A and B are shown apart, each in its own frame.
Chain A
Amino acid sequence: MRRILPTLVTGALVLPALAACSTFGEGESASGGTEKLVLVAHESFSLPDELIEEFEAEHDVDLEIRQPGDAGAVVTEIALNPDDSGADAVFGVDTTFASRLLDADALESFEGDLPSGADAFALADEDRLVPVDSGNVCVNVDTAWFAERGLAEPESLDDLVDPTYADLFVTPGPVDSSPGLAFLLTTVAAYGEDGWRDYWRGLVDNGTELVAGWSDAYYTSFTGGGEDGQRPIVLSYDSSPAFTTTEDGSATTTRALLDTCFTQVEYAGVLRGADNPEGAQELVSWLLSEEVQAALPDNMYVYPVRDDVELPAAWAEFAPRPAAPYTMEPAEIAANRETWIGEWREETQR
């Protein structure tokens, strides 16, 4: 009996402490009479709380944001139940996945107007997918590394197969990486159906390192991203140089090669099975509003589609945009993606 007592005392102390840690009794905010509005978005979706609260107050809705994963997961979740996905609107469907939602007939037409500048990113004859932001996947270089060695920085895709730059380039493959897939599409767009496989053979022969994901390339292998990287040329985004500044923010240590870029557009849409279709329409319009568009660069690393909002200073200074990036229609991507990835595997893994 002597030894039971301390145990009981310990238990009596520990249990309430544990209970305090539990998620039990963590009340969801009561929504009262306000209507619910559900947005499915990818994991990178993020906007300032004040903006979201303003929207909720203005339209008297309770906005609930669900983030099941990356764009691929978002699209898959909706396509599994295109008639009734349990949500009202979707955001973050990118160029490479856009066709799946159209093919699954999961979307309604957007009834609002596109702001100035957005037209350039809209799909031809398609009012179900609304362009919200865009970004470019581009080859980046560590400018300090090249300066130290007195070596000219590469500028073009062709330079990457030049022996001068042997063993210096690292890129994620297209298998499970969205920028990696974009780079494969870049090469198809640049060298054509007949030429891209030769180009990739050239890349492999020139010692290009292929890794699984963007962070493996950027943070582990790239000299300008992590602490121990060995390669000064990497595949990333046109906005990346704005995030490799010196500590005082006066200069950046990397640069995007603007002749190697591929445009990815992110779309929003109203879901066909929406319980609150009016709210969903208002939500998509709101994503195109000046306030939200201006908040996109700092919160999601992407460029707004509106041409009348100001970019953050670091972006304007360190992340110039490509003048003529490569592009491809979502339908063409959808029709060929798996074939191209299969051929890419053959070419790079012989």
Chain B
Amino acid sequence: MARGDAALTRTLRLLALAALPLGVVAVFFVLPVGAMLVRGLAPDGHLDPGGLVEVLGRDRTGRVLWFTLWSAALGTLLSLVLGLPVAYALFRVAVPGARVLRALTLVPFVLPTVVVGAAFRALLGEGGLLGFLGWDGTPAAIVAALVFFNISVVVRVVGGAWAGLDPRAEEAAAALGASPARVLLTVTLPALRPALASAAAVVFLFCSTAFGVVLTLGGLRYATVETEIYLLTRAFDLPAAACLSLVQVVTVVALLAVLGRLRGRAGDAVPVDRVPPRPRRARRGDVPALVVTGLVVLATALPIVGLAVASLQVRGEWTLANYRALDEPGITTALDVPVLTALRNSLQVAVDATWMALLLGLLVALVVTRRARSRPERVARGLLDGFFMLPLGVSAVVLGFGLLVTVARPPLALRDEPLLVPLVQALVALPLVVRTLVPVLAGIDDRQRQAAASLGASPARTLLVVDLPVVWRPLLAAAGFAFATSLGEFGATSFLSRPDHPTLPVVIGRLLGSPGTTGAQSNPGMAMAAAVVLAATVTAVVLVVERLRVPSVGAV
């Protein structure tokens, strides 16, 4: 066969794989965000660069940008530093209850930010357990909340790769006399670098676009680019909002480029063992990691315990009334449907969002990890890789209003389509799914695929016997992420929520937004009870999902 034909076939296959995710992101992300940018930057059809310069020149813009950068950078750094020992302890060491703890790490992810904001303020405010720190209303509270949300990303993205890391290189180094610290620094961390870079990128994007907690914990004094875009949009200063959105996109692209460099020539590969090593018994050298893990678990549990306690009280007395009220229609005028009905809606949406995110994420991961044969192909794959990260880096408010003015209207008119909300949530989860899959997929030695092909396996069969067994575990981790992201997503969803099918975060927001301590239960108590149910649900679902195992096909 001529070389040209082979290259053409490869390009076509690449395009075919990329077509679906590209199309979805184009219609449900690029189109809406683009529409908002056009409205802001060129309201009369032509670009107004003077306005752009004016907004960029404002004192406030500079302050907001600077605060966003340093709070997100600090949040990312702390999440990494605290998350690494936890990832190690939960995925590499045989810790009792590790499975449950791994599932619990997703809890902060699903808790609506209004609830977390309330829990943090209850903890840090006047009279709170940690009130003596004086963090209420300071950047420290904001950064603490960012770390609270994002440690789980580090633990799961890095932990997933760490669990499958071939231990032989570490063992060899140790056998040659390297100290544990030296093994960690010179063998383990470099091998994990792609996963670390992936986690750092995602966490930074999450931190820099955090919205609810920043508004709740620092809303009056501290603003990030994300909260500023929200406030400017509300004030109908669309040019300024569009300008900041543009700044956001440019920053994200620059960040991704830098991280792409960081990942280095080795690309995304984490060397994986086909049969993952079993977690081993704890040793004396594991003590520091175990101590840090214990502390992190405790600190993460504090706000959650706080809201569980609040859910069990009405008028200062202990009661289960808030839980009993979850299933009673018409118990409070704040709600049209019982809370448990909203939970069912949320679960339905989350199931759809999860399979959509996995389907799209798997396609994207396959496209960006196959070894490129030529420079243009490598560039194309790199660009695609970055492109699918964008949904994390753009304001949910811009996306939400953008969806309202584009796909929600004729000719598309998808507003009443039940699958619109899950699809938008799947897009929000997509970068996480991709970043969880890519390091592992890239670690598969291409020669295995070639061997399978030369033995007569079709591309589909190669995928099944070579890629799937290795990617199964991160795929489950990604499923957990997507599920949790969907259950907790509030920003973009709130614009599209169907009043007759409210999701649980929407209902919790309504309970916390209206006064009501009239019967045996109270509205804030019910909101906290609903959040506890949400947390319990995601833990249970993730525990079940992670029990699904793919057989080791190598044994076939």
Contact = CB atoms under 8 A, between A and B. Distances in A.
A211 interface: yes
Nearest to A180: B220
Interface in A204-230: 209-216, 218-221, 225-230
Interface in B120-138: 121-122, 125-128, 137
A243 B352 contact: no
A21 to B, nearest CB: 4
Contact of B409 (A86, A231, A244, A349): A86
A204 B75 CA distance: 31
Nearest to A65: B499
A169 interface: no
A285 B179 CA distance: 81
B145 interface: no
A68 interface: yes
Interface string A77-91: 101110010100000
Chain B, interface size: which category?
35 or more
A67 B497 contact: yes
B121 A216 contact: yes
A214 B511 CA distance: 12
A167 to B, nearest CB: 9
A236 interface: yes
Interface in B469-502: 494-497, 499
Contact of B219 (A4, A175, A245): A175
Interface stretch (A22-30, A115-123, A262-270): A22-30
B236 A69 contact: no
Interface string B92-132: 00000000000000000000001001100110011110000
A100 B237 CA distance: 12
Contacts of B221: 349
Contacts of B514: 44, 243, 301
Contacts of B524: 215, 219, 225-227
A23 B551 CA distance: 30
Most buried by A among B121, B231, B515: B515
A18 B413 CA distance: 27
A176 B219 contact: yes
A228 B122 contact: yes
A93 to B, nearest CB: 13
A243 B514 CA distance: 9
B231 A176 contact: yes
Contact of A215 (B237, B513, B517, B520): B513
Interface in B277-317: 310, 313, 315-316
B263 interface: no
B127 A228 contact: yes
B45 to A, nearest CB: 15
A213 B216 contact: yes
B515 A244 contact: yes
Contacts of A345: 220
A299 B509 CA distance: 16
Interface string A169-197: 00001011000000000000000000000
Contact of A221 (B117, B126, B517): B126
Contacts of B219: 173, 175-176, 211-213
Contacts of A46: 333, 336
Contacts of A125: none
Interface stretch (B375-383, B414-422, B531-539): B414-422
Interface string A1-44: 10110010011001000100111101010000000000000011
B183 interface: no
A199 interface: no
A218 B524 CA distance: 10
A228 B401 contact: no
Contacts of B336: 46
A247 interface: yes
A298 interface: yes
A260 interface: no
B419 A24 contact: yes
B67 to A, nearest CB: 13
A220 to B, nearest CB: 5
Contact of B310 (A77, A227, A337): A227
B234 A76 contact: yes
Contacts of B506: 43
B405 interface: yes
B449 interface: no
B409 A72 contact: no
B347 interface: yes
A245 B517 contact: yes
B53 interface: no
B552 interface: yes
B176 interface: no
Contact of B333 (A1, A211, A221, A298): A298
A293 interface: no
A226 B220 contact: no
Contacts of B496: 68
B333 A173 contact: no
B6 interface: no
26 contacts: A11-B548, A18-B355, A22-B352, A23-B349, A23-B352, A23-B419, A26-B348, A44-B513, A69-B495, A76-B233, A86-B413, A173-B220, A175-B231, A176-B215, A213-B215, A215-B114, A215-B513, A216-B121, A220-B122, A227-B524, A230-B127, A236-B515, A237-B515, A239-B515, A243-B516, A244-B518
Given A3-B552, A4-B556, 11 more contacts: A7-B549, A11-B548, A26-B348, A44-B514, A46-B333, A64-B416, A212-B219, A215-B114, A226-B310, A243-B517, A247-B315
Q: Nearest 6 pairs between A and B by C-beta?
A: A212-B219, A3-B551, A243-B515, A23-B418, A173-B220, A219-B524
